Amino acid sequence: MSRNYSSRKRILVTGGAGFLGSHLIDVLLGQGHELLCVDNYFTGTRDNIAHLRGHERFEFIRHDVTFPLYVEVDEIYNLACPASPVHYQHDPVQTTKTSVHGAINMLGLAKRLGARILQASTSEVYGDPAIHPQTEDYWGNVNPIGPRSCYDEGKRCAETLFFDYHRQHALEIKVMRIFNTYGPRMHPSDGRVVSNFIVQALKGEPITIYGDGQQTRSFCYVDDLVRGMVLLMESPADFTGPVNIGNPGEFTILELAEKVIAMTGSRSELIREPLPADDPKQRQPDITLARSRLGWEPSVALDQGLERTIAYFRATLDL
């Protein structure tokens, strides 16, 4: 049974030293909860949680979720997994293990404790989508043997495990499909398009456009994303998801590059590179379900979010 004795919960966040995890922990601490942050520092960093050192309700454990973890908590947010192509393709076997073994271990922990558990899934489960925008009932168009498959199929398998634990063991689950998210604490060399463009622009380096730049993405500011994540965790038990959380505003990669150049005052030139294998041509969430069941929609416009993110990178890179 869950050990929750009051409105204050003890909450486990795996991948808590990462970009999303550290912002989530800040919000949950602000709500008065106790936080247990678990990370192996593969892509997360000490800097992301340095401001929490000494906080009376924050605890850190260095641990890899592919191994079992024995702790006592009320809720689990499972965010552990490298999320950018540069990082998840570095060791693709380990990426798949993190998604699959990590899900098994965290689900087993949740089952033992009777704890509610949320899976940070991804829009990558839709692959290179044949429908646009993407709704949660779309099964996806994913290459199971390509260079991105370790992440795409790992996350798809994790969703399978979550729903099987829900059906077989009546476990309370929440599955959230995250679309492109950006903001402060992104890793400057994680290979994601927003951080890539901002860092290149601030350094005056050429900005790399893959393909013709007409592929589209939808960019959600981190504060909006985390708010949606917490609302999903707190939603009624019968609402399991999956639910899309992302900003439905759609921009071409070329539009983003031109916007970043203008906002940074950079003189960077655009250079073209071949499109990577299995790179989706379109990505835009249908957030009808999030609006109707969670009362959620993003509130931070792209220009406003980029302004904050550019300021972060100027300060951290001393540019």
Instruction: Give pLDDT tens digits for 187-237.
Output: 888 888 999 999 999 999 999 898 888 988 999 999 999 999 999 999 999
Catalytic residue among 77, 88, 151, 182: 151
- The whole-number pLDDT of residue 280 equals 72
* Structure confidence by residue, pLDDT tens digits, 53-64: 999 999 999 999
Between CA 57 and CA 34 the distance in angstroms is 5
Residue 147: name the closest of 193, 86, 218 by CA: 86
In a domain, 213, yes or no: no
- The whole-number pLDDT of residue 189 equals 82
In a domain, 83, yes or no: yes
Is the pTM higher than 0.85? yes
In a domain, 189, yes or no: no
Residue 33 has pLDDT above 90, yes or no: yes
Per-residue confidence band for 254, with pLDDT thresholds at 50, 70 and 90? very high
Residue 40 has pLDDT above 90, yes or no: yes
Residue 2 has pLDDT above 50, yes or no: no
Residue 5 has pLDDT above 90, yes or no: no
| Domain CATH code at residue 138 | 3.40.50.720
In a domain, 91, yes or no: yes
Residue 212: what residue type? Answer: D
In a domain, 307, yes or no: no
In a domain, 178, yes or no: yes
Residue 8 has pLDDT above 80, yes or no: yes
Per-residue confidence band for 88, with pLDDT thresholds at 50, 70 and 90? confident
In a domain, 204, yes or no: no
Residue 188: name the closest of 94, 49, 319 by CA: 319
Instruction: Identify which has the larger pLDDT, 223 or 281.
Output: 223
* Structure confidence by residue, pLDDT tens digits, 99-137: 999 999 999 999 999 999 999 999 999 998 999 999 999
* Structure confidence by residue, pLDDT tens digits, 130-139: 999 999 999 9
Distance of CA 224 to the CA centre of its chain: 12
Average pLDDT over residues 31-44: 96
- The whole-number pLDDT of residue 1 equals 45
Residue ranges making up the domain that contains 43: 10-183+220-248+283-299
In a domain, 198, yes or no: no
pLDDT > 90 fraction of the chain, expressed in percent and rounded: 80
Average pLDDT for the chain: 93
Buried b (16+ CB within 10 A) or exposed e, 124-150: bbbbbbeeebbebebebebeeeeebbb
Q: Is 182 a catalytic residue?
A: no
Cα separations (Å) of 85 from 129, 190, 191, 316? Answer: 18, 8, 7, 23
Average pLDDT over residues 3-32: 91
Residue 198: count other Cβ atoms within 10 Å of its Cβ: 27
* Structure confidence by residue, pLDDT tens digits, 147-185: 999 989 999 999 999 999 999 999 999 999 999 999 999
Per-residue confidence band for 317, with pLDDT thresholds at 50, 70 and 90? confident
What order of strands is seen across the sheet that includes strand 75-78? 58-62, 34-39, 10-14, 75-78, 116-122, 173-178, 243-245
Count structural domains, the chain. Answer: 1
- The whole-number pLDDT of residue 84 equals 66
